[in-house]
Structures are given as structure tokens and as C-alpha cells.
Amino acid sequence: MWRRRAGALLRVWGFWPPGVPGRRPLSCDPASQAGGNSPLCWNCGSPGGPGRENGFFCPQCRALQAPDPTRDYFSLMDCNCSFRVDTVKLQHRYQQLQRLVHPDFFSQRSQTEKDFSEKHSTLVNDAYKTLLAPLSRGLYLLKLRGIEIPERTDYEMDRQFLMEIMEINEKLAEAESEAAMKEIESIVRAKQKELTDNVSSAFEQDDFEEAKEILTKMRYFSNIEEKIKLKKIPL
């Protein structure tokens, strides 16, 4: 019964087009676009492992396959490789995939499939959280292009920006009233909105150095947001 249910879900969502090869999803990673021999199913030995289209399941025996290590988050979540992401579509895709690979649906399956479902579910969770937030999405886009931002980058930031961050942190440390907290939150929210718009433009122009600088600033404001949340928690 489970196999019939999984097969129906896969056909509805386009993972197993009956008799017709599916279109290859968009991917930021050229390696995941490359051809080559498809991995063999661990259960029945037929071609159609993780390297084949959306190959979550073997097309012959319907056994759950191992996650594709070359697949990027954008391809997994059926998103264009872009900073602009349709978050409603992203959430819908997340829910679809979790209904497909969540460990709860594999309690009566083999231990191999149980292990694979855990890995798939974790991967889907990580992909969803990464692409949902503008900061982590931007950092991931840079990472796909071999660009990473060190944790401490004070020496690369202009003095005026660092002074602005220091002033906001000082105001936060001194804030005692709800009104003062809301004022700081409003300032930080407006700054993050401005920076998000700017980094989106930078990615559209393939200006990755500019995107790197803006994302570094966003990370500073993200740290302040975390401090605000902590300060709101009653001791």
C-alpha cells in the first residue's frame, strides 16, 4: 500500500513521469548537470539512483535511494539559482518533500531506507532554512561560487559602518523600556530591508564582491537581532 501511495505522490509532483524522461532541474552546480552513468539501485541493482533526475526512489523497485551528494539546495527545492526566491513556493516544496521522505513514513521499511530517509529529511530541512532567510541564502549563493566570508571581518569594514553598529549596540545595552526596544528593532529592520534590496541588485548584476560586502553588513545586523531576542527573554 505504501508503494502505491508513494508512486501516486511522485507522479503528481512530477518525480516519476510515467514513460517520459523528466526535465532536469535547474542547478547552480555544473557537476550536478553533467551526464555520466546513473548510480545503481542499492536494492535491485537497476540504474536510477540519486544521479537520475529527481531520483529519490528507484524507478523499478521503488526503494528509497541515498541523497545525491552533488545536488545543491536550489535544485533540491525546485528554485531558480537566484537570490530572489518565491518563499510561498519554497514552503510548498518543503512540505511536499517532507511528506515524501520523512522518517515517519519509513517505520516499516528496511533499515537502509530508514537511514536514507533520515538523511533526506535533514537535508531538506537544511535547504529550506538556508534558502528561506535572505542572509543565509546570499551566503550560500556565494559559497556555490567559491566565495566565503570569514567570521571576523572588522578590518574590511569602513569605520563609519562600524561606528554605526557600535552606537546601536550601546543603545541596546542601555535600553530599559519596551518603547526603546521597539525603536531599536525598527532601525535594525529598516537597515536589513535596505541591505536585502541592495544585495539582490548586486546578485542580479553578478557583482559578487559587492554582494560579499553587503552580506557582511547584514551579518552584523543579524547579530544585533539575536541580541534583541535574548534581551526580550525574561531572566
Q: Which domains are seen in the chain, by residue range? A: 44-132 (1.10.287.110), 159-232 (1.20.1280.20)
* Mean pLDDT within 185-205: 97
**What pLDDT, on the 0 to 100 scale, is given for residue 82?**
96
* Cα gap 162→192, rounded to integer Å: 15
Grid coordinates representing 185? Answer: 528593532
Q: Is 38 exposed, middle or buried (0-12, 13-18, 19+ CB in 10 A)?
A: middle
- Report how far apart the first and last C-alpha atoms of the chain are (Å, whole number): 52
Which position has the higher pLDDT, 152 or 154?
Answer: 152
Please state, in angstroms and rounded to a whole number, the distance separating the CA atoms of residues 168 and 198: 21
pLDDT at 154: 57
Question: Is 159's pLDDT higher than 60?
Answer: yes
Cβ–Cβ < 8 Å for 213, 203: no
Are the beta carbons of 85 and 79 closer than 8 angstroms?
A: yes
> Distance between CA atoms of 56 and 62, rounded to whole angstroms?
9
Beta strands in the chain (DSSP E): none
| CB 196, CB 134: distance < 8 Å | yes
The cell numbers describing 50, all together, are: 540519486
Three-state SS annotation for 159-211: HHHHHHHHHHHHHHHHCCCHHHHHHHHHHHHHHHHHHHHHHHHHHHCCCHHHH
pLDDT of residue 232: 83
Distance of CA 157 to CAs 161, 178, 214, 220, 226, Å? 7, 31, 10, 11, 21
Percentage, residues of the chain above pLDDT 70: 77
Q: Which residues of 119-145 are buried (b: 16+ CB within 10 A; e: fewer)?
A: ebbebbeebbebbeebbbbbbbbbeee
Q: At residue 93, does pLDDT exceed 50?
A: yes
Note the pLDDT of residue 4: 43
